[in-house]
Structure 1
Amino acid sequence: MSDGFALLMPVYRGDDAAHFAKAFSSSVDEQSLKPSQVVLVQDGPVGDDLAAAIDRVVEASPVPVTRHVIDENVGLARALSIGLELAEHEIVARMDADDISLPERFARQLPVIDAGVDLVGTGMFEFLDDGGAIVGRRTPRTGHDEIARYARFHDPFSHPTVMYRKSAVARAGGYQPLGLMEDYWLFARMIDAGASVENIPDPLVMYRVGAGAYARRGGRAQWRSELALQRALRGIRFTTRWEYLRNVTVRGVYRFVPERLRKVAYRRLIAGRAPS
């Protein structure tokens, strides 16, 4: 059994204080298997409410918290890189400041890592801000070969669900800024570098879907990030020339279709439909 693990959680001014407090408590206090260390990276100045919420959870935490404040906002990739440097354990779990971990999450993931896997994600429920109604379920691909195949077209992991080995992240070059695609870019490079990967299909994280979630998946900014990612994947020969052309075409169209059609496509092809 591993000698503990660290929980890495970034927070920045755009995060909601109440959502952050729930994300923290669900990933620490409410876990059947608690992390040994929490690395909390504050990416730039935050408002008074969020600052007070951070103070409260750090003071009340049942496990040690390493809190690092960055004077200016440096972006997610740099914040996570700093957090990894502060993690005292080889195994690190990721969590975002507005989602919810279900109580058995880490107890289910850690044995998979202990069995020799370098990176493991899980399924997710999607829920609405207002009332917490579950509106969707993401069931990821499983099995190393199937995940590696799928990664040539789509991110095979949901970033807030993953647990990984620091050494495997380091071998792949760590987090690198790439528009809005830092997580996908990292996971592709980990697979390309020989990391062993797996997913637990069961939903062990609840992912908050707020207003404008589908609008943010489209537009010129997303398209520019998408194109940069596809060029990067092709640059390391992770994708073939045909796969590059397919991805640019299919994923590019998705970025520019009307929001209502984007929502339908996402539900049918990626997230799955809401559970009954």
Structure 2
Amino acid sequence: MSAPFSLLLPVYRGDDAAHFLKAVGSSTAEQTVRPAQLVLVQDGPVGDGLAEAIERAVAQSPVPVTRHVFDENVGLAAALEHGLTLCTHDIVARMDADDISLPERFAKQLPVIEAGADLVGTGMFEFLDDDGSIVARRTPRTGHEEIARYARFHDPFSHPTVMYRRSAVANAGGYRPLGLMEDYWLFARMIHAGARVENLADPLVMYRVGAGAYARRGGRAQWRSELALQRALRSIGFTTRWEYLRNVAVRGAYRFVPEPVRKIAYRRLIANGGAANA
């Protein structure tokens, strides 16, 4: 029998009600191995349509639901950190409110965790928000040593795909706010703290790409977050001085190139670790 695990899914006012219901259903009822608990964290007030969708998801869930509602928006890091305290099980799977888990996702991830990994991610398909067509495949680096090496330059995990041990997250200090870089900052600290990590190359999550997805990866706000992240990584000794300078130059410049160039660079050089699958 597989080890029981919790599914942690945050939702906030910007999420689409139909997308949210699909995310929940694909990660519970449609899974060949289902979570033993669904933890929904509502990050602040939401509109009537999304509120109705949340009530429907809770009422129709095939697994027990633990729900927490924040009176005000607290941000993703705080929402996830609180959500982890509500998880009954040490093994926790993450999911976002606008993506889709493929049916075999947990059946393939769980054995890797049970074999000793503290954190395991997967590949993803990118699909268009308007017509659902697949436009790219993200293939992550695999193998602990290769992932740890690549993490010095880029986040080696796609956050909506990960499954981890809550104890390993706590050992690394948990989620901490860092301007849109909370996941990378956490995963780097987990690796630095000795967590065993792995990725499955198989695309087991459908990642929704809507209008402005690549525009949001650029601009001064992203540059400031990037600089804060690189300083944080250097402060704990995760990166060397040379790696810090390289990352600031390369990743910083990426934030200011035109959106079409950023889209190509992300798909060919970053999302696929240098392998083009678009």
Letter in 2 for 1:92: V
Q: Which amino acid aligns with 1:139?
A: T
1:33 counterpart residue number: 33
2:61 is aligned with 1:76: no
The one-character-per-residue Cα deviations of 1:168-204 (angstroms, maximum 9, x if unpaired) are 0000000000001000000000000000000000000
Determine the structure 1 residue equivalent to 2:204: 204
For structure 2, the 5+ residue unaligned runs are none
- Structure 1 regions of 5+ residues with no counterpart? none
Return the letter of the residue paired with 1:35. P
Cα RMSD of the aligned pairs, angstroms, is 0.9
Deviations 1:113-132 (A, max 9, x none): 00000000000000000110
Which digits, 9 at most, give the CA deviation of each residue in 1:6-44, with x for residues without a partner?
Answer: 000000000000000000000001000000000000000
Contact kept? 1:31, 1:104, Cα under 8 Å: yes
Cross-structure match for 1:8: 8
Q: Distance in 1 between matches of 2:5 and 2:141?
A: 25
Distance 2:129 2:262 in 1: 20
The corresponding residue for 2:117 is: 117
Moved more, 261-270 or 182-191: 261-270
Aligned partner of 2:234 in structure 1 is 234
Q: CA deviation at 1:274?
A: 5.2
Conserved 8 A contact 1:222-1:255? yes
CA distance in 2, matches of 1:270, 1:178: 20
Instruction: Tell me how many residue pairs correspond in the alignment.
Output: 275
Could you list the per-position Cα deviations for residues 72-94 of structure 1 after superposition, in whole angstroms to 9, with x for gaps in the alignment? Answer: 00000000001000000000000
Letter in 2 for 1:222: Q
- Indicate if the aligned counterparts of 1:43 and 1:72 stay in contact, CA closer than 8 A: yes
Question: Partner of 1:160 in structure 2?
Answer: 160
1:141 & 1:79 partners in 2: Cα distance? 28
State the partner residue of 2:195.
195
**Within 5 Å, which residues of 2 pair with 1:1-276?**
2-272=2-272, 273=276
CA contact (8 A) 2:138 2:277 kept: no
- Distance, in Å, in 2 between the alignment partners of 1:168 and 1:16 is 32
TM-score (norm 2): 0.97
- Whether contact under 8 Å (2:3, 2:114) holds in the other structure is no
Q: % of aligned pairs identical? A: 81
Is the CA contact (8 Å cut-off) linking 1:134 and 1:274 kept in structure 2?
no
Are the counterparts in 1 of residues 91 and 165 from structure 2 also a CA contact under 8 Å? yes
| 1:2 Cα deviation after fit | 5.0
- TM normalised by structure 1 equals 0.98
Cα separation, 1, equivalents of 2:160 and 2:125 = 12
Quick one: which amino acid aligns to residue 106 of structure 1? F
